[in-house]
């Protein structure tokens, strides 16, 4: 099976998915040293803690060796292109992460792998950096397809839309068709059977199944929150000041509870915080635990995020989980690549 190298690999969501599909991932690269344990421990793949700006094409070629169909994937950080950044007018070249996609493009140009893939937020398509990236692909002989994926169509229990690009030097390539009926995807099938815990409590049988503590006020709020409802269901004395202003009236999902028989919200780096979205547990008076966030990101239920040689930091692990490519999406990309290679090799 062709060798794969994963750039911006984080804790390995994409790598894990590609491996589940049957691909041979041989290396991951990322600048964040806190991801190394989780990436290597769960995937048995070497983690290179390096800055992509300092990685050379020769370095990547050496790892690929004489592989006849090397695959290079790279999901550059999406924060510069998020919906909020666009809304605030901040999606511009002043962000130090803005041009990282072009560093991926540079390596594509230097290495010329057989297959390339990237995943990001849909709005990246509206940027100059993306147009320059497409020029690199076109100038180097890549056929490529681009698709905005509605995650439930592929069995991912989030109302998440992600942009996926796949390119090939062999011929036209497209993402495989949807595999699920979105109406059949419910969060109950992913997190219902976990042990019950209170806000701020850690499960004795799974150290990752822990939730953030709630203030007394937020505990009152979640107790009167209805699954699928909004803060408008609360008594007036529990409402936030911002919700009494016209500018805050549209943020109806914050402080919301999820519903068992529906998909969940997009898992962000703040999914453990009750006040940042519809992250309230459907029944228990708390926000999602770290394990629940990982499961909604379709990580295996035994994926280990806790480095025994580092002090435990709740926010770091939530960031690792929220920034990851959903494992199932990685698997779909992997299945697409294998199908394509089987048709051309």
Q: Which residues are catalytic?
A: 78
If you search the block for the tokens 């239920």, which residue do you land on? 301
d(CA 25, CA 315): 28
Q: Are 29 and 48 in contact (CB under 8 A)?
A: yes
Here the tokens at position 300 are 């295996």
> With b meaning 16 or more CB within 10 Å and e meaning fewer, what string describes 276-299?
bbbbbbbebbbbbbbbbbbbbbbb
Of 56, 60, 28, 62, whose CA–CA distance to 44 is shortest?
Answer: 28
Q: Are 104 and 7 in contact (CB under 8 A)?
A: yes
d(CA 285, CA 291): 16
Of 104, 273, 288, whose CA–CA distance to 187 is shortest?
Answer: 288
Angle between helices 13-21 and 36-43 (to 10 degrees): 10
Of 168, 159, 160, 99, whose CA–CA distance to 140 is shortest?
Answer: 168
d(CA 115, CA 73): 8
**Measured between alpha carbons, how far is residue 178 from residues 148, 158, 160, 165, 174 in Å?**
12, 15, 15, 16, 12
Residue count (the chain) = 345
The pair phi, psi for residue 152, each rounded to 5°, is -60, -25
What is the dihedral sign for C-alpha 269, 273, 278, 280?
positive
Q: Is 170 exposed, middle or buried (0-12, 13-18, 19+ CB in 10 A)?
A: middle
Hey, how many other C-beta atoms are within 10 angstroms of the C-beta on 50?
13
């Amino acid at each position: 099976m062709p060798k794969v190298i994963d750039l911006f690999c984080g804790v390995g969501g994409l790598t894990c998915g590609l491996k589940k599909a049957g691909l041979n991932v041989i290396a991951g690269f990322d600048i964040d040293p806190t991801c190394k344990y989780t990436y290597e421990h769960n995937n048995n793949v070497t983690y290179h803690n390096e800055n992509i700006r300092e990685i050379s094409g020769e370095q990547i070629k050496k790892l690929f060796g004489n592989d006849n169909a090397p695959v290079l994937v790279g999901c550059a950080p999406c924060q510069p292109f998020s919906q909020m950044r666009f809304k605030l007018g901040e999606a511009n070249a002043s962000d130090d992460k803005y041009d990282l996609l072009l560093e991926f493009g540079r390596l594509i140009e230097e290495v010329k792998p057989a297959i390339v893939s990237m995943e990001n937020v849909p709005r990246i398509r509206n940027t100059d950096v993306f147009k320059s990236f497409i020029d690199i692909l076109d100038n180097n002989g890549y056929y490529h397809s681009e698709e905005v994926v509605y995650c439930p169509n592929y069995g991912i229990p989030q109302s998440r839309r992600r942009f996926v690009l796949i390119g090939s030097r062999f011929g036209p390539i497209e993402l495989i068709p949807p595999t699920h009926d979105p109406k059949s995807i419910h969060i109950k099938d992913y997190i219902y059977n976990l042990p019950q815990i209170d806000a701020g409590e850690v499960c004795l049988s799974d150290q990752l199944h822990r939730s953030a503590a709630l203030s007394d006020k937020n505990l009152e709020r979640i107790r009167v929150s209805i699954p699928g409802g909004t803060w408008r269901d609360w008594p007036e004395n529990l409402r936030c000041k911002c919700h009494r202003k016209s500018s805050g009236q549209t943020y109806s999902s914050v402080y919301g509870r999820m519903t068992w028989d529906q998909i969940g919200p997009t898992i962000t780096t703040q999914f453990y915080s009750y006040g940042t979205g519809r992250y309230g547990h459907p029944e228990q008076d708390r926000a999602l635990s770290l394990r629940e966030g990982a499961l909604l990101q379709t990580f295996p239920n035994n994926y280990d995020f806790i480095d025994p040689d580092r002090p435990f930091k709740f926010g770091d692990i939530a960031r690792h989980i929220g920034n990851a490519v959903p494992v199932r999406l990685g698997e779909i990309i992997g299945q697409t690549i294998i199908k394509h290679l089987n048709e051309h090799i």
